[in-house]
Amino acid sequence: MPHTGFATIDFETTGLFPGGNDRVIEVAVVHSDPDGSITARWDTLINPGRDLGRQDIHRISAAEILRAPTFAQIAPELIARLDGRVLVAHNAAFDTRFLIAELERIDYVPDVELVALCTMQLARVFLPDAGRSLADCCAAFDIVLDGAHRASVDAEATARLLAGYMAHARDRSSWDQALEQADRGRLIPLIGAPTPWVPREHAQPTGRHFLERIVETLPPFGGSDAQNEYLALLDRCLLDRVISQHESDGLVAMATKLGISRDACEKLHLEYFWSLGAAAWSDGVLTADERDDLATVAALLQIPSDQFDRVVAEPDERPSDPGTAGTTLAGFRLEPGDLVTLTGEMSRPRSEWHDALTSHGLVPKEAVTKQVKLVVAADPDSLSGKARKARNYGITVVDEAGLARLLAGV
C-alpha cells in the first residue's frame, strides 16, 4: 500500500504563546505525495473570540474574522486532512504546539504521537550556509514567497521547500521512515457537522454600503426624536472616520427599529454633512485638512458630489442651503474625569496612551464597566472581551485615530 504522504501546515496566530491566551486565527494545509509533489491545498480564517494581536504582521482584520468559523467548527476536517500524514512546517515546534493547544481546548487529545518534519531544522543539512528564516531558505531554491505571513502562502512555500530538500537528498530512507510511522499512527476521527472553510479572499466585507441594506419602504419616519437618535449614533460611528462592520450593522438595526427608510437616511446623512460643513466654515476659513476630512465623511456616507461641492464652496459663492442643515448635534466629547479603556495591540505603547489620557485629565481604566465613557481598540471591530462588553453596554468603541481626534477637543 502506498504511503499517504505529507501535510504541510502553517498557522497565523494572535501571538507566540499557545499556553496562555494566544489563539490560532488562520490555518493552511497543503497535501503532497510521498515524492513531494503538491496535490491539494486548503486554508481558512478562524474566529478566536478575542482580539487579533499584531495585525500589522498578519494583516487580518476583525471584519474578516467575523465571517470565519471557529477552530472547533473546522477541527473535524482539519484532523481528517492531517490523518496518516507526516506533518511538515517551518519551525514545526511552533505550529505543533498551537495545534495541540487548540485541540486540547476542544477536548481532543491525539492518541498517537504526531510525526513532524521541520524545514527550518532540515536547513542545517540541506542549506548549511543559508539563514534559517523561511524567506532565506526559499531564496536558496528560487521559491517565490510573495505575501509572507499569510498561512496559504507560507504553507505552499514550505511544501515546495520540502520538495526541494527531497530532490537533493542522497536517499529516501529518512523520508520513507517518517511516512511509514505516520501511516501506522492514525488519528481518531472527530465527529462534527461539515463547516465551510473561509479563505481570506472569501471573508472580505462584501463592499455593500450599509445604506443599501436599509429597507427602502418602511412606515412613515418617526419624527425628530427618532431623527436625533439616529444622528447621535451616526456621530459616534464617525468619531474615528471609520464605519466598522459592527457600526454598519448597528446603523442598519437602528434605522429599522426607528422606521427610517433608506430615502430618509440619505436625507439625514446630507443634513449631518451640511452641519459638519457649517462647523468647518465657522471661522470663515476651510483648511486643507478640513476639506480632506469632509471628503472622507462624504465618501463614508455616499454624499453626492454636487452636495460636497456646495458645502466646500466659499460662503459667498455657495448655493442656497437645501433646507437640511437645521440640526445641531451636541456631539460626543470627552470631559476631564471620564474613564477610558484600551484593548488590543496598539500601534503606540499603552504607556504612551496612558500618559496622553492622564495629561488631558482622563482616567485610564483596565476593566470595562458601565461607568466607562469610551473604549479604544486597535481594530474598531475588535472581538476582545472588553470590546464585546462595551458594545453590550452601548459604550462607544473607536480606534487610535478616533482617540487622537477626541483628545484634541478635550
Q: Kindly report, residue by residue over 175-212, the tens digit of the pLDDT.
A: 999 999 999 989 999 998 889 999 998 887 666 788 77
Amino acid letter at 386?
K
Last residue in a domain, options 203, 223, 239:
203
Q: Kindly report, residue by residue over 324-362, the tens digit of the pLDDT.
A: 444 445 578 899 999 999 999 898 999 999 999 999 999
pLDDT at 1: 47
Contact 329, 232 (CB under 8 A): yes
Assess if residue 320 is contained within a domain: no
Assess if residue 330 is contained within a domain: no
Show Cβ contacts of residue 248 under 8 Å, excluding neighbours closer than 6 positions: 210, 213
Same domain? 46 vs 186: yes
pLDDT at 395: 94
Same domain? 83 vs 181: yes
pLDDT at 106: 95
pLDDT at 216: 67
Same domain? 77 vs 105: yes
Alpha carbon 70 to its chain's center: 14
What is the residue whose three cell numbers read 524545514?
A: 119
Point out the residues that are catalytic: 149
Percentage, residues of the chain above pLDDT 70: 92
Task: Specify burial of residue 409 (Cβ count, 10 A radius: 0-12, 13-18, 19+).
Answer: exposed
Last residue in a domain, options 178, 203, 228:
203
pLDDT at 121: 96
Range of weakest confidence among 42-51, 90-99, 252-261: 252-261
Hey, is 9 helix, strand or coil?
A: strand
Q: Kindly report, residue by residue over 107-116, the tens digit of the pLDDT.
A: 999 888 899 9
CATH code (residue 141): 3.30.420.10
Count how many residues are written for the chain: 410
Tell me the C-alpha distance between 187 and 209, whole Å: 45
pLDDT at 325: 43
| pTM beyond cutoff 0.85 | no
Same domain? 214 vs 197: no
Confidence of residue 279 (pLDDT cuts 50, 70, 90): confident
Same domain? 215 vs 199: no
Same domain? 299 vs 347: no
Task: Specify burial of residue 268 (Cβ count, 10 A radius: 0-12, 13-18, 19+).
Answer: buried
Between the alpha carbon of residue 379 and those of residues 65, 156, 193, 356, 393, the distances in Å are 12, 29, 31, 19, 18
Same domain? 66 vs 191: yes
Confidence of residue 321 (pLDDT cuts 50, 70, 90): low
Between the alpha carbon of residue 34 and those of residues 4, 62, 327, 344, the distances in Å are 7, 38, 70, 43
Tell me the C-alpha distance between 251 and 243, whole Å: 10
Percentage, residues of the chain above pLDDT 90: 69
Residue ranges making up the domain that contains 254: 210-312
Same domain? 49 vs 173: yes
Q: Kindly report, residue by residue over 376-398, the tens digit of the pLDDT.
A: 999 989 999 999 999 999 999 99
Same domain? 151 vs 224: no
Q: How many domains does the chain have?
A: 3
Q: Kindly report, residue by residue over 309-320, the tens digit of the pLDDT.
A: 999 997 766 555
Q: Which residues lie across from 30 on neighbouring strands? A: 8, 41
Task: Write phi, then psi, for 314 (nearest 5 degrees).
Answer: -55, 140
Assess if residue 295 is contained within a domain: yes
Average pLDDT over residues 131-156: 92
Same domain? 199 vs 100: yes
43 or 227, which is more confident: 43
Average pLDDT over residues 67-85: 96
What is the residue whose three cell numbers read 503538491?
A: 38
pLDDT at 204: 73
Same domain? 289 vs 383: no
Assess if residue 1 is contained within a domain: no
* Helix-, strand-, coil-residue percentages of the chain, each rounded to 5: 45, 10, 45
